[in-house]
């Protein structure tokens, strides 16, 4: 199912001002003017395969949220796959492109240099989360291992006030405005 028709923002809404989000040459474009506002699907999803492409300038920061349940609190009620200009950085961390933000680092940086299109696929089925970036599997996790609020299974802290094993509800898909320009295209989802 297409989440974006390439021509309108039908089926999407903003958590704050929609200014700064528009259709640009068949893409959802974020001008990066409002910061921390998200554009989200009006439909909600739990188990799915999401595919999309994104492109950004140097230094960009954004993200893709899913299973997000409280429109006023995406950070604490949704899972974020980080989009960040981390091309070539080693080692990959919980804040690199393709990470489940602050909880699971990718195995390596598979993002392309700023200005190039990246292809991302996110799989969420029950407790299993997987991220492929540019055809490479980079992140896999079992949410049931995250049993303590504010802690990862290896004992390192994270910023979340509930255990990640609880992040299995049906929720919105969101695109983050984090004061960076970014283009999204070919957004499609298949329910599982």
CATH of residue 143: 2.60.120.560
Which pLDDT belongs to residue 16?
Answer: 80
* 88 domain-assigned: yes
Lowest mean pLDDT among 30-34, 105-109, 173-177: 30-34
Which pLDDT belongs to residue 107?
Answer: 97
* 109 domain-assigned: yes
Domains identified in the chain, total number:
1
What is the pLDDT averaged over residues 21-45?
Answer: 91
What is the pLDDT averaged over residues 115-139?
Answer: 98
What is the C-alpha to C-alpha distance for residues 166 and 191, in angstroms, rounded to an integer? 20
pLDDT tens for residues 45-86? 999 999 999 999 999 999 999 999 999 999 999 999 999 999
* 4 domain-assigned: no
DSSP label at residue 1: -
Which pLDDT belongs to residue 99?
Answer: 98
Residue 106's Cβ-count burial label (10 Å; 0-12, 13-18, 19+) is buried
Does residue 35 surpass a pLDDT of 80? no
What is the C-alpha to C-alpha distance for residues 20 and 4, in angstroms, rounded to an integer? 17
Across the chain, what does the average pLDDT equal? 96
**0.85 exceeded by pTM:** yes
* 148 domain-assigned: yes
Element (H, E) at 129: strand 128-133
Residues 6+ apart with CB under 8 A from 110: 97, 98, 133, 134, 136, 138
Which pLDDT belongs to residue 109?
Answer: 96
What is the C-alpha to C-alpha distance for residues 16 and 132, in angstroms, rounded to an integer? 30
What is the C-alpha to C-alpha distance for residues 26 and 30, in angstroms, rounded to an integer? 13
Domain assignment of residue 183, given as a range = 12-191
* 6 domain-assigned: no
DSSP label at residue 115: T
18 confidence band (pLDDT: 50, 70, 90): confident
Which pLDDT belongs to residue 151?
Answer: 98
Does residue 36 surpass a pLDDT of 80? no
């Amino acid at each position: 199912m297409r989440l974006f028709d390439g021509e309108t923002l039908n089926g999407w809404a903003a958590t704050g001002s929609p200014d700064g989000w528009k259709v640009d040459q068949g893409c959802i474009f974020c001008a990066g003017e409002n910061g921390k506002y998200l554009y989200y699907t009006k439909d909600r999803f739990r188990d799915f395969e999401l595919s999309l492409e994104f492109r950004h300038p140097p230094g960009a920061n954004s993200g893709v949220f899913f299973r997000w349940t409280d429109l006023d609190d995406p950070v604490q009620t949704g899972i974020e796959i980080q989009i960040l200009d981390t091309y070539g950085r080693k080692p990959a961390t919980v804040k690199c492109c393709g990470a489940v933000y602050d909880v699971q680092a990718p195995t390596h940086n598979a993002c392309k240099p700023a200005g190039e299109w990246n292809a991302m696929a996110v799989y969420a089925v029950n407790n299993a989360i997987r991220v492929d970036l540019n055809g490479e599997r980079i992140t896999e996790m079992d949410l049931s291992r995250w049993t303590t609020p504010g802690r990862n299974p290896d004992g390192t802290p994270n910023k979340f006030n509930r255990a990640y094993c609880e992040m299995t509800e049906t929720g919105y898909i969101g695109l983050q405005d984090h004061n960076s320009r970014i283009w999204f295209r070919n957004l499609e989802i298949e329910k599982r």
